[in-house]
Structures are given as C-alpha cells and as structure tokens.
C-alpha cells in the first residue's frame, strides 16, 4: 500500500477521536504546569501521571484499532497478514514512547511531526524481524499519528499563550546577544552607516541627471535633472510581440503596470525593451528613488534599500570576470571605498537593490556566463533583495531567467499622451530658453505624420526635441534631414559616445552601415513585406560586403552587429527580422529605389496607402530632373485613373511630394499647383469628406482661416474633422477663434473623432460660446469641460455620460438649451429640476425609465421634446404657456389626453406628430396657432385642414414626403 493511501485513511475523521484518547483533558489536574514552567509532554498523556485513564494495555488496543482501520477496504494489504500482531506491538511501543521524551508541547510542535516520529522510533524498542513493507507502514503510521497529536497540542487554550511567552523570551535573548555583539564591536556597524550615507549621496548625484547622446545643442546643458525629465512608461507581462501566431498573442493578454513599480509587485524582474526605449533611464530612476529621503512619490517600496548599479558593458569592457559583492563598487567605477565586507552584509540582510543593466550589451558568447554569475549571486543573496535585469527583446530567449523566479516584462511604446508629456518635460529640463518651443513641437507632432511616427520611445522623442530646439523651433523641411540625423545617432554616435566599443568585433562607419540596412529595406518594400527571414537577411548582407570592400569582415558578425546595435532592426521572432520603425524602412527603401531608378515600381504603387511615404521620400532623395520625372508620372497616372477618388489621391500625392523636393522645374511645380487649386479648398460637404478620405496629407494643402470666407471655412473644417488621427488637431485649432457659428459648431461636432484632452485644450477651450451648442458624448469629455471651467448655455449630453457627470454638468451652469439622452441603467436626471432658465429641452429616455412632468423645472420653456410618456400624464403641459414647439413620441394609448393637452398651449406654432396619431384627434378639436407640422408621411384622408386651419408648412422627416398630394392647398413642403 502506498504511504499516501495510509495517510489518507489515518487522516479520516474516525481516526482523530481514537488518537485523542492518548491525551489528558485540559482541566486543572494536579497542577503540573505550575505558574511559569513549560508543559511537559508526560503531563499531557492519558496513560501517565496521577490522572491516568489509559493503561499500557489500552494503548495497545488503540494501536490495534488504528492498524485494523488502515488495513480495511479494497486493495493490497500494506504488509503480510502474519505480521499484524508484531506491527501492532511496535506501533503501541512508539506511542508509549511519548511519555519518555524530555520536551514540552511547544518544543514538540516546533520539532514537527516527522522529526517527532523519528524521536519516538528511536526511544521505543526496535522492532525485530519485520519485513520492509511492515517497517515502511510502521514509519508512516507513526508519523501520521504524530501529526494528529501535534494538532491536538496546538488546539489547547494554554498553547498559544505559552508559545507567545517562548517567542518573546527568545527574541529578548537574541536582542541581548546582538546588543552584546554591537557593544563589543562598535566599529563596523557605525562605519557601515556612515559609508552608506556617503554612498547614497554619491549615487543620487551621479544618476540624478539625464545625458542625451548624439545631439549637438549649442546653448543647452548636456545633462538635465532626472526628476524633472523622467517619464514613467508602461510595461506588459509575458514575452514581447512575436508576430501573428495566435498562440503567441494569447500570451500577450496581461495587464500593464508602471515599469518603475514592477519591483513593488515582483522581487525579481527581467525587463525587455528596444534600443532607446528607456531601460537605462529606468535604472537611474530606481537608483535615485532609493537614495531619496523620503523616496519619490509611489516609490516607497524602495525605501531603505541600497542600490547596486551594474552596467554590464562597463563591467566587462576589458574582458574582466563579472564581480561578486565585494567588487561591485570598484567594477562599476565607484570612487568610494566601502568598509570590508560591507556589500556582503547589506545583501545578506536582504536590503539590496541589484540593477543589472544591459544583458544585450555584452557579447552573445558571454551571456551564458553572465547568467551563471547572476545565479551565483541569487544563491548567496536571493532572500529579501530586489533584482532588475534589463535586455533588448531578443538578446536572450523567452523564460531565460524564469527558472530563477524572474518575472518577464516588456516596455510598451509611448502613447500620444506620453509623447506630449515627454516633450513638455524635455523642454522644462532643457531650461527657460527651450520652453517657448514646446508647443510648436507638439503642433508639429500632430500635423507632421513622419515626425509623429518616429516619436515612439524616449530616445527618438529626445532626438526630435533636440533637433527642433537646435533649429530654434523649426524641424527640417522634409524628412531627409530628420532621418539623416536619426540614422547618424543610431548607427554611429550613440554607441561611440556611450563608450560601447565593438561588442561583436565589428567597427563600421556610418556610411557602410546605411548601405547594408538600405539593401534590407529595398527588398522588404519591393516585395511588399514588413518582415523577412533571418537567413535571407543575412544572405543579403553577405552578398553586399565584397562590393563594399569589406571582405575582411566576417559576414555573420556584421549582420549580428546591425541586428543588435544599429537600433534600426529587431527580431520579432527567432528566425525573422524587421525594422523597428516602418518609417526607417520607407526612408531607406526610397533611397534604394531612386538609386536603382525603379520609377515604374513607384508609380505602379502610387494608389497603395502603404507606399505613400516611400514615394514622397523618393522625391526628396531624387535629384531635380529625377524628382520632376517622378511627379510627371504621378500626374499622368492621375489622368489615366478611372475613378474621381483615385484622381484626387494621385494629384494630392504629387502635391504633398512636391514639398519634399529640394529643387524641381517651374513647369512641373506650376502644373501641380494648378491642378490642386481645382480641388482644394472643397466647395461642398461631399467634396470635403472626399478630400478627407485621402488621408492626413490633405492637411498640408488646406487653407487657413485667414485665407477663406465663412462658407469655405466651414467646408475646410468639415474636411479637417474627417481626417483620421490626431494630426488634424493643431490645424483645426487655427479655426477655433472663427466668428462663424457653423464653423464653431462643426469644431464641436469633431471633438468625438479625436483624443479628448488635447482637442479640448487646443480647440474646445478657445471657442466663442455665443449661441454655440456643446456636445458631450462621454465621461471623458464631461471631465474636460468641468476641468476647463467651461459652463455652456447650450448643451447636448449623450447616453455614455454617467449620471454623476451629468449632474455635475447641470449644476455647473445656467442652461437655456439642453438635450439629454439616457440609456438602459441610467436614472432620470434629478438635477434637471434646478435649471430655471431653460427655453428648449429634449429628453430622449428609454422605455421603462420612470419620470414625471412635475420633475421638469419651472422654466420659460418654448421648445419641448420627450420620447417616453410621463407617469403623471400630459395635463402638466399647461405649466408652459409659452411653448412654441412640441414633440411627443408615440402618445398612444393616451392620444385623447394628448390632444386635450395641446389645447392648453395657446402659443404652440410647431408640432412633430406621427401620421397614425392624426387619425385619433377628436372631432371638433382645433389648434389654430399651429403653422408648421413635422411629418414622416401624410395619410390619405388626414384631417389636417380641420385640425390645423393655420397650417402653412410641412417639414418632411423623410424625403421624399410620402402622401404629399394629400396636403391642403397652399401648404409648403420643406426638408429638415
């Protein structure tokens, strides 16, 4: 029989009461414990002491019962049947040995049931002649009996108090010993504390600034305060994105968290991120946060920890072995000399914050050795300390450190909001002279697509900020200078200025690296791919080296260098390669296409959205005659296009590409401008939406508010609000001060199509509110109106606005016009009753939402619409004698009440009515004041002339108006 099965049967509810018979009750007994003495085991046993209730013979019977119970049931017996008596005697002897142990109950529980069982077997006579199965059974049965016995001990009322006394005494004794040690050896402890203060101050100063590599700023400091410039990024759990494999994507569905809080949730973290994604900056932030007193906001989990910053590229730059604790500081170039054994004492106490930065920045052959080194540290100091290891995504395989308890996280690309925050902080950190340029750059990021697409990590955002600042608030015209600066930074200056050396044994200048990655971009774009096989990419590099005179470079090392250190390439999976930014692929492919003069390829793909950037960049790379030819070919393709939309797209593509050309013939320029003037600006809403469908490039061609009249301004704004993405926000902001109500209304309507806060700050907050109805579709928009202190007089509130936000909006202003839509789960807005100035009110309420006319405010209403009938009937309409326009949706089955209520409205001029309701009007009821009806159809035989003798106009809710021939003579039909 398996030991587990024996244990299961011994653990059953029937066995517990049997074993409890071994123990005496909790009564006062003979006073064996005394006032202060431990409770000896002998005093707790029912077969020992003055109050014995069991004899040794009874204990043997109890043992026999236990043996019999365990042998019951189906299955093989745990030992031969002829050994039953011997096993019973041996088990009884083990149980009786409890009375011979010299320990108390607290000591027994601390010992544990298995160790206690070994003590019993050692104290009892050794069984003689038992088979191996019988011996195994005896050991298992004894251990399980001890488990029950110890459980009984812990349930005794006096046990917990006794345990606390023992623990308190033990702690007091330990504290006394430590005090004695400290008194006898005062030097090291005091010396450690003094050194730590110096060390933390040194780290705070060393890592408290950000250094931007690869950027020349004439009038700006090279370093900026970290606490001003640092931006917390998000990290997600699981492996980095590996492509379209569904099984892989399922591993990506993890909640994100702030990267700087990862060590609050996990003791050990392997953080992956692309080159420039902010891994090293995060290490600096954690270091400075741990050094602060008090720590930075939200960083309390680092309080009291001592950082050890271990940049691997520094530790191994001369081939040294990776250091152990006593050499951490010297290996990391710390000038301070710690007391002997200080690092060991810190880590042994579990107070360390070990930050290992840059697994990818050491040669691949050394990474296995680095893991062994790390495992050695964990074996010695794994308890209590916090560990962070950083790497690029594919430098080490998935789960590389998972067996060592590391949680793997990946830094996420920056969101538009994070980019905006980064830009503002960068300009604050760069000093007062840079501050005026921040908003200009934010405008460029939203209107200039190629710039926005580069700004996805701190490195590239920093590059863009620096270039913009260096040019006194202007980014280079066109993309080529910007991308050239980015390529120079990534391919040459960044590693050189960081002292990286040649971790892969390859030292290439910028130009040959560009030629090599350009070949990869050319192949990908020509084949309409974004990813290529690693083997094919390596073959392209190998083929190119002889023509470049680089035959003395090992092709595999050159490729590995490009892949791991260029910052342009990455491995989305173990056997594929792509560019970190599509825009770099487009830029390099365009140059290669011009070099190969593949103009036919460019034109054939001109209607493909994914080739627009390639074509524009090709014009930028081309010489004047080449650029002119590309543009002429685009215009020719437009002439040959069958659809108007395609013609528009090609003409606009030529117009936007023209801005990238360094020089082009006047004839070509004038022809493009002539054609563009025919379609820009748009003349009708349909033309405006058609232009917007072409994409954000139309923003470069649309005129500003100062160049057009009010009608054209409205068409331009319609186009701008239909351009997808946030690039249009800054363009639309130029129209925020326009006096035309139609222009301002279109700008309010467009809010729902853009990111809420930027649009609110740049457009909504600057609108003239006169006669303007604001549209609020969700809680985010409501929050922005409240935050900005905007209190509209005219307001429309959508059903995605929660009840609480709706109440805040209503209480925040004195409204004259209000439209409220409520959905399922919402309540009727009680705050509505406090709006005493309302002249127009529309309530779109779901069926089943109870409300009353008496819930409406005592306001001078002139227009009223509601979609569900009030619970208190329609008689209350008479409270609003100034009502001019009324719409009641589906008044049946209370039509008679509805018509009678209308007679109480002497000034009613306009009425929305359903065709079926007309037939329910009582004979003799007349509404002479109504001059306008809103109808979806006119039923034959409708008594319109009788009910509405003053009727002059019918507004068609559906066009054409069905049954218009049944209208009384002289009634005009109009569209909404």
What does the pLDDT read at residue 585?
A: 87
What does the pLDDT read at residue 147?
A: 85
Q: What band does 11 get if pLDDT is binned at 50, 70 and 90?
A: low
Q: 692 vs 537, which has greater pLDDT? A: 537
Distance CA 109, CA 131 (A): 31
Residue with tokens 């003590």: 119
Q: What band does 30 get if pLDDT is binned at 50, 70 and 90?
A: very low
What does the DSSP 8-state code read for residue 260?
A: G
What does the pLDDT read at residue 687?
A: 79
Contacts of 474 (CB under 8 A, 6+ apart): 468
What does the pLDDT read at residue 229?
A: 60
Facing residues of 307 across strands?
353
Least confident window among 221-235, 242-256, 618-632: 242-256
Mean predicted lDDT score pLDDT of the chain: 82
Which of these, 133, 93, 98, 117, lies nearest to 6 by C-alpha position?
A: 133
Ramachandran bin of 502, using left for φ above 0, alpha for ψ from -120 to 50, beta for the remaining angles: beta
Least confident window among 251-265, 358-372, 438-452, 493-507: 493-507
Distance CA 507, CA 955 (A): 78
Q: What band does 829 get if pLDDT is binned at 50, 70 and 90?
A: very high
Q: Is the peptide bond before 960 cis (omega within 30 degrees of 0)?
A: yes
Q: What band does 397 get if pLDDT is binned at 50, 70 and 90?
A: confident
User: Has residue 720 got a pLDDT over 50?
Assistant: yes
Q: What angle do CA 79, 85, 89 make, to 5 degrees?
A: 105
What does the pLDDT read at residue 255?
A: 47
Give long-range contacts, CB 8 A cutoff, 24+ apart: 531-538. Answer: 531/243, 531/572, 531/576, 531/577, 531/578, 532/576, 532/577, 532/578, 533/575, 533/576, 533/577, 534/571, 534/574, 534/575, 534/576, 534/577, 535/575, 537/577
Distance CA 240, CA 872 (A): 61
* Segment 154-181, tens digit of pLDDT: 877 777 777 777 777 777 777 777 666 6
Distance CA 191, CA 195 (A): 6
Mean pLDDT across the stretch 129-150?
A: 87
What does the pLDDT read at residue 42?
A: 76
3-state SS track over 843-903: EECCCCCCCCHHHCCCCCCCEEEECCCCCCCCHHHHHCCCCCEEEECCCCCCHHHHHHHHC
Mean pLDDT across the stretch 917-933?
A: 92
Residue 859: phi and psi, rounded to 5, are: -115, 160
Mean pLDDT across the stretch 868-897?
A: 86
- Cβ atoms within 10 Å of 509's Cβ, excluding its own: 9
Q: What band does 240 get if pLDDT is binned at 50, 70 and 90?
A: very low
What does the pLDDT read at residue 244?
A: 30
Residue with tokens 């930074």: 489
Mean pLDDT across the stretch 341-368?
A: 88
* Segment 462-491, tens digit of pLDDT: 778 877 876 677 776 656 777 777 777 667
User: Has residue 697 got a pLDDT over 50?
Assistant: yes
Least confident window among 540-554, 568-582, 667-681: 568-582
Beta carbons of 718 and 688 less than 8 angstroms apart: yes
Distance CA 387, CA 308 (A): 10
User: Has residue 565 got a pLDDT over 70?
Assistant: no
Contacts of 165 (CB under 8 A, 6+ apart): none
Element (H, E) at 428: helix 416-429
Which of these, 584, 573, 567, 566, lies nearest to 521 by C-alpha position?
A: 584
What does the pLDDT read at residue 749?
A: 93
Mean pLDDT across the stretch 530-536?
A: 87
Range with the largest mean pLDDT of 296-310, 328-342, 402-416: 328-342
Q: 818 vs 301, which has greater pLDDT? A: 818
User: Has residue 655 got a pLDDT over 80?
Assistant: yes
Q: Which residues of 932-965 are buried (b: 16+ CB within 10 A; e: fewer)?
A: bbbbebbeeebebeebbeebeebbbeeeebebee
User: Has residue 724 got a pLDDT over 80?
Assistant: no
Distance CA 786, CA 797 (A): 13
Q: 101 vs 498, which has greater pLDDT? A: 101
Least confident window among 171-180, 346-355, 519-528, 720-729: 171-180
Q: What band does 29 get if pLDDT is binned at 50, 70 and 90?
A: very low
Decide: helix, strand or coil at residue 563.
helix
Q: What band does 35 get if pLDDT is binned at 50, 70 and 90?
A: very low
Least confident window among 227-241, 410-424, 504-518, 883-897: 227-241
Beta carbons of 526 and 601 less than 8 angstroms apart: yes
Here the tokens at position 901 are 């209520």
Residue 622: C-alpha distances to residues 39, 149, 399, 415, 695 (Å): 96, 90, 47, 34, 24
User: Has residue 120 got a pLDDT over 70?
Assistant: yes
User: Has residue 925 got a pLDDT over 70?
Assistant: yes
User: Has residue 750 got a pLDDT over 60?
Assistant: yes
Q: 815 vs 698, which has greater pLDDT? A: 815
Mean pLDDT across the stretch 119-126?
A: 87
User: Has residue 36 got a pLDDT over 80?
Assistant: no
Report CA dihedral (445, 449, 450, 454) to the nearest 10 degrees: 50
What does the pLDDT read at residue 593?
A: 92
Give long-range contacts, CB 8 A cutoff, 24+ apart: 876-884. Answer: 876/852, 877/853, 877/901, 877/902, 877/904, 877/905, 878/904, 878/905, 879/853, 880/905, 881/905, 881/906, 881/907, 882/907, 883/907, 883/908, 884/908, 884/909, 884/910
Chain mean position to CA 412: 7
The interaxial angle of helices 624-640 and 644-658, nearest 10 deg, is 170
* Segment 312-343, tens digit of pLDDT: 877 765 566 889 999 999 888 899 999 999 99
Q: What band does 574 get if pLDDT is binned at 50, 70 and 90?
A: low
What does the pLDDT read at residue 496?
A: 54
Q: What angle do CA 954, 955, 957 make, to 5 degrees?
A: 130
Distance CA 641, CA 635 (A): 10
Q: What angle do CA 786, 792, 796 make, to 5 degrees?
A: 90
What does the pLDDT read at residue 45?
A: 84
What does the pLDDT read at residue 823?
A: 84
Which of these, 673, 494, 452, 474, lies nearest to 581 by C-alpha position?
A: 452
Count of residues for the chain? 976
Beta carbons of 815 and 836 less than 8 angstroms apart: no
Distance CA 287, CA 263 (A): 12
Range with the largest mean pLDDT of 526-540, 541-555, 761-775, 910-924: 761-775
Mean pLDDT across the stretch 204-224?
A: 60
Which of these, 223, 225, 297, lies nearest to 260 by C-alpha position?
A: 297
Element (H, E) at 955: strand 953-956
What does the pLDDT read at residue 973?
A: 93
What does the pLDDT read at residue 775?
A: 94
Q: State percent of the chain over pLDDT 90.
A: 31
Distance CA 404, CA 744 (A): 60
The interaxial angle of helices 113-123 and 132-155, nearest 10 deg, is 120
Contacts of 30 (CB under 8 A, 6+ apart): 49, 50, 51
Range with the largest mean pLDDT of 175-189, 222-236, 426-440, 588-602: 588-602
Sheet holding 569-570, edge to edge: 532-533, 576-579, 569-570
3-state SS track over 772-801: CEEEEEEHHHHHHHHHCCCCCCEEEEEEEC
Beta carbons of 716 and 731 less than 8 angstroms apart: no
User: Has residue 856 got a pLDDT over 80?
Assistant: yes
Chain mean position to CA 531: 25
Residue 827: C-alpha distances to residues 390, 466, 780, 831, 832 (Å): 51, 52, 20, 11, 12
Residue 209: phi and psi, rounded to 5, are: -135, 150
Distance CA 716, CA 174 (A): 81
pTM of the predicted structure, to 2 decimals: 0.44
């Amino acid at each position: 029989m398996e030991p587990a099965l024996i244990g299961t049967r011994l653990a059953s509810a029937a066995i517990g009461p049997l074993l409890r018979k071994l123990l005496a009750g909790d009564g006062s007994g003979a006073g064996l414990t005394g006032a202060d003495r431990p409770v000896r085991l002998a005093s707790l046993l029912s077969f020992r002491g003055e109050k014995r209730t069991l004899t040794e013979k009874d204990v043997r019977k109890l043992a026999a019962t236990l043996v019999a119970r365990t042998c019951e049931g189906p299955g093989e017996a745990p030992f031969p049947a002829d050994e039953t008596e011997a096993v019973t005697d041996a088990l009884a002897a083990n149980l009786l040995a409890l009375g011979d142990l010299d320990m108390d109950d607290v000591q027994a529980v601390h010992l544990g049931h298995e160790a206690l069982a070994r003590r019993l077997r050692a104290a009892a006579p050794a069984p003689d002649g038992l088979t191996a199965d019988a011996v195994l059974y005896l050991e298992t049965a004894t251990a399980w009996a001890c488990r029950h016995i110890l459980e009984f001990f812990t349930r005794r009322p006096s046990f917990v108090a006794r345990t606390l006394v023992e623990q308190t005494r033990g702690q007091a004794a330990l504290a006394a010993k430590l005090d004695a040690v400290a008194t006898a050896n005062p030097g090291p402890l005091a010396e450690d504390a003094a050194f730590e203060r110096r060390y933390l101050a040194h780290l705070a100063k060393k890592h408290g600034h950000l250094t931007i590599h690869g950027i020349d700023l004439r009038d700006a400091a090279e370093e900026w305060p970290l606490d001003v410039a640092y931006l917390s990024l998000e990290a997600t759990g699981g492996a980095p994105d590996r492509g379209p494999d569904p099984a892989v994507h399922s591993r990506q569905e993890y909640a994100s968290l702030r990267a700087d809080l990862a060590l609050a949730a996990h003791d050990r973290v392997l953080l992956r991120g692309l080159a420039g994604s902010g891994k090293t900056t995060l290490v600096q932030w954690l270091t400075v946060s741990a050094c602060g007193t008090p720590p930075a906001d939200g960083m309390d989990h680092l309080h009291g920890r001592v950082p050890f910053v271990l940049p691997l590229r520094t530790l191994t730059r001369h081939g040294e072995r990776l250091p152990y604790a006593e050499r951490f500081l010297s290996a990391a170039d710390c000038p301070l000399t710690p007391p002997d054994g200080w690092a060991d004492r810190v880590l042994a106490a579990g107070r360390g914050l070990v930050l290992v930065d840059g697994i990818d920045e050491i040669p691949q052959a050394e990474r296995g050795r680095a893991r062994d080194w790390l495992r050695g540290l964990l074996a010695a100091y794994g308890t209590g300390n916090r560990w962070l290891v950083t790497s690029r995504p594919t430098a080490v395989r998935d789960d590389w450190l998972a067996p060592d308890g590391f949680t793997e996280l990946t830094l996420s690309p920056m969101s538009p909001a994070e980019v905006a925050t980064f830009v503002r902080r960068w300009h604050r950190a760069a000093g007062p002279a840079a501050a005026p340029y921040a908003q200009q750059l934010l405008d460029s990021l939203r209107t200039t697509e190629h710039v926005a697409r580069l700004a996805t990590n701190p490195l590239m955002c920093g590059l863009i900020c620096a270039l913009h600042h260096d040019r006194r608030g202007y980014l280079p015209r066109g993309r080529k200078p910007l991308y050239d600066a980015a390529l120079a930074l990534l391919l040459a200056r960044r590693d050189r200025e960081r002292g990286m050396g040649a971790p892969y044994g390859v030292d290439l200048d910028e130009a040959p690296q560009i030629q090599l990655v350009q070949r990869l971009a050319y192949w990908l774009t020509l084949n309409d791919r974004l990813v290529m096989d690693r083997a094919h990419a390596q073959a392209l590099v190998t083929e190119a080296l002889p023509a470049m005179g680089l035959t003395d470079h090992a092709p595999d090392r050159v490729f590995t260098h490009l892949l791991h250190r260029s910052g342009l390439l990455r491995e989305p999976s173990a056997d594929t390669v792509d560019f970190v930014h599509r825009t770099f692929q487009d830029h390099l492919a365009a140059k290669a296409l011009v070099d190969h003069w593949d103009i036919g390829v460019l034109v054939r793909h001109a209607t493909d959205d994914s080739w627009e950037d390639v074509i524009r960049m090709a014009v930028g790379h081309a010489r004047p005659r080449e650029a002119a030819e590309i543009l002429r070919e685009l215009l020719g393709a437009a002439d040959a296009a069958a659809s108007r939309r395609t013609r528009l797209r090609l003409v606009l593509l030529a117009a936007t590409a023209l801005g990238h050309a360094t020089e082009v013939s006047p004839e070509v320029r004038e022809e493009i401008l002539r054609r563009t003037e025919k379609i820009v600006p748009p003349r009708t809403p349909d033309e405006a939406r058609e232009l917007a469908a072409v994409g954000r490039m139309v923003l470069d061609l649309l005129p500003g508010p100062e160049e057009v009249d009010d009608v054209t301004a409205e068409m331009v704004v319609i186009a701008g609000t239909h351009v997808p993405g946030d690039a249009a926000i800054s363009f639309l902001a130029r129209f925020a001060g326009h006096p035309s109500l139609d222009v301002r209304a279109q700008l309010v309507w467009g809010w729902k199509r853009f990111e809420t806060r930027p649009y609110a700050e740049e457009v909504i907050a600057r609108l003239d509110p006169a006669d303007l109805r604001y549209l609020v579709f969700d809680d985010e928009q409501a929050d922005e109106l409240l935050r900005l202190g905007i209190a509209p007089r005219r307001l429309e509130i959508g059903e995605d606005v929660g009840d609480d936000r709706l109440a805040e909006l209503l209480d925040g202003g004195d409204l004259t016009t209000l439209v409220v839509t409520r959905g399922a789960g919402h309540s009727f807005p009680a705050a509505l009753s406090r709006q005493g100035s309302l002249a127009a009110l529309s309530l779109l309420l779901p069926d089943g939402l109870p409300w009353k006319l008496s819930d409406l405010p005592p306001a001078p209403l002139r227009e009223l619409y509601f979609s569900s009938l009030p619970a208190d009937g329609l008689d209350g309409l008479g409270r609003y004698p100034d009502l001019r326009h009324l719409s009641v949706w589906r008044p049946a089955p209370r039509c008679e009440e509805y018509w009678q209520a209308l007679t109480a409205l002497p000034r009613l001029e306009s009425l929305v009515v359903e065709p079926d309701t007309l037939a329910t009007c009582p004979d003799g009821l007349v509404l002479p004041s109504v001059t306008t009806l809103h109808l979806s159809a006119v039923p034959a035989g409708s008594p319109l002339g009788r009910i509405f003798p003053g009727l002059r106009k019918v507004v068609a809710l559906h066009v054409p108006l069905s049954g218009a021939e049944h209208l009384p003579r002289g009634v005009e039909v109009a569209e909404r």
